[in-house]
Amino acid sequence: MAKKKKNNIWYIAGSVVIIVFLIVLFFIYQPSNSSSTTSGEESKKSSWSLFEEDASCKYNKGENCQNTPSKCVCKSDQICFPDRTKSDNLGCYTIVCGDGYKDEGETSETCCIDAGCSNGLVCDANLNKCVKPECPFDCCINDIKYQDKSCPQYYTCNSQEHSCEPDDSDNDAFFDYEEIQKGTDRYNPDTDGDTVLDGYDNHPLFEYLPDNINYDWYYGKNCIWGFCPFPQNLNFEIKISEDVISSYENMPKENLINRKDPQLEEVAQIMNQLANAEGYNDADKLMMTIAFSRSFNYDYTKLNFDKPLPDWANFPMETIVKKEGLCADSAVMATALLREIGYDAHYLVGPCHDYTSYHAIVGILYVDGITLGGSERYVTHNGKKYYYVDATSRDSGGNVFYSATSKDDFGTTFCSMNEFVVRES
């Protein structure tokens, strides 16, 4: 009986210990009500936090540097900006120049890519520096508003036009870069040596086959034993390349009379040779040349020409090759040819029979061998008298192959008015 009582005592004591432990646990896990000194946030914590607190940023549960700054802390070189696409898990963003955001400390001097520029400057992204903007086209001069722009190879800056213009080292109307592409010599204006500048030559690398052109006209009298029933026939032949002929159409209509032309020089030599062979004096040689001009046809296709002067005009050799032209073409040709032969000649223009029609003729300084009758008309230029000589056929309708030209035509024209002036520009 005594042994059984001892076991009951231990059983009762163990039960009491368990009950006490459970009571203690009950009170430990109850929320604290002494809240007068506890913040609202701490009052929500379980009593377990008294033993342990988790201070890590739970970004996977939506915590970031903005809504939980005490736990999600950014580095010293970062800013809190969760909305930026390249911010990290904590919502922290590392500032980078050129990211498209203007951040504190970024200025036009430190980061013009983000901060921009003022005073008309633009940001050079490669240099990260505010500079003057580039020229909108190809301007290449030192300008207050724009930065300098160098010209590419084979181009030179035209300071007046503010633009890069292609080089033409030999002044042959063929730009250097074109000559390199074509294979011509950019330092030789006439690569093939056919007297045509490369820029106006249809075949600049080789001389094209020449054409033979024949000329027949009349001047003076053909006498047999003192009897002179027939006019004197004069003729010659020249060879001229098709490239030369086409060049007259390609070239700008400038300097028509004073332009150096090897083909015109050749015709002038032929005229001198013909005159010498006939024993002509200066007066007959002059009128022989005028007769040559009058032998050409009148170009009706240019009567209603709608281009401005001098776009419609022929070069002297162009008229000679075509054997036709207007009165202005004949006058230009005759003036240039007479100068090559050695005469002092000028291009004259003025009203013909009224002020609605105009005519072009040649003015010639007096030539020995011509007898003046006192009725000859002339224009005074630079203190000299230049007498009228009409380089066009007397038949203003044209299509005349022969006109009996004589020294009596010196100082005359079929136009009745007398208001001709020198015009050569």
How confident is the model over 277-285, as a mean pLDDT?
94
Asked if residue 290 is part of any domain, the answer here is yes
In a domain, 33, yes or no: no
Average pLDDT on 194-199 reads 90
Lowest mean pLDDT among 167-181, 248-262, 307-321, 328-342: 307-321
* Residue 296: inside a domain: yes
Mean pLDDT for all residues in the chain: 83
Question: What confidence tier does 425 reach under pLDDT thresholds 50, 70, 90?
Answer: low
pLDDT at 147: 73
Element housing 235 (H / E): strand 227-241
Whether 287 is in a domain gets the answer: yes
Please choose, from the candidates 305, 274, 269, the residue with its C-alpha nearest in 3D space to the C-alpha of residue 287: 274
Q: Is 69 exposed, middle or buried (0-12, 13-18, 19+ CB in 10 A)?
A: middle
Please tell me the predicted confidence (pLDDT) of residue 36.
42
Residue 231 pLDDT: 79
CATH of the domain at 350: 3.10.620
Does 28 reside within a domain?
A: no
What is the DSSP annotation of 114-142?
Answer: HH---TT-EEETTTTEEEPPPPSSS--S-
Assess if residue 277 is contained within a domain: yes
Q: CA-to-CA distance for 71 and 40, rounded, in angstroms? A: 18
In a domain, 389, yes or no: yes
SS3 381: strand
Residue 43 or residue 53, greater confidence: 53
- Name the nearest CA neighbour of 135 among 163, 103, 174, 104: 163
Could you give phi then psi for residue 138, rounded to 5 degrees?
-135, 30
Distances (CA, A) of 321 to 19, 296, 347: 137, 10, 20
Tally the domains of the chain: 1
- In this predicted model, what pLDDT tens digit does every residue of 86-118 receive, in sequence order? 999 999 999 999 998 999 889 999 999 999 999
Angle (nearest 5°) at CA 317 between 248 and 413:
125
The Cα 303–Cα 288 span in angstroms is: 27
Average pLDDT of the segment spanning 233-245: 92
User: SS3 for 219?
Assistant: strand
Q: Does residue 173 sit within a domain?
A: no
- The partner residues of 332 in beta bridges, in order of sequence, read none
What pLDDT is recorded for position 37?
40
Instruction: Tell me the residue length of the chain.
Output: 425
Task: State the residue range of the domain holding 223.
Answer: 209-422
Burial of 144 (0-12, 13-18, 19+ CB in 10 A): exposed
- pTM higher than the cut 0.95: no
